[in-house]
Amino acid sequence: MSTAFTLVFVAAAPFWALMIFAPAWGWTRRIVSSPWSVTPPLVFWFVFALPNLADLLPAVAKPTLAAWQELVTDPAAMTAVWAQVIAWDLFVGRWMYLDSRERGIHPLVMGPLLVLAILFSPVAVPLYLLLRGVLGRTGQQTAELRERTAVSA
Q: What is the mean pLDDT of residues 138-149?
A: 60
Of 43-52, 53-62, 120-129, 141-150, which gets the smallest average pLDDT?
Answer: 141-150
Question: Quick one: how far is CA 20 from the chain centroid?
Answer: 12
pLDDT-derived band at 144 (thresholds 50, 70, 90) equals low
Cα–Cα dist 102/54, whole Å: 43
53-104 pLDDT per residue, tens: 998 999 999 999 999 999 989 999 999 999 999 999 999 999 999 999 999 9
Cα–Cα dist 132/51, whole Å: 41
What pLDDT is recorded for position 15? 98
What is 29-94 written as a DSSP string? Answer: HHHHHSGGGGHHHHHHHHHHHGGGHHHHHHHHHS--HHHHHHHTTSHHHHHHHHHHHHHHHHHHHH
pTM across the whole model: 0.86
Neighbours of 41 (CB within 10 A): 25
- Residue 62: DSSP 8-state: S
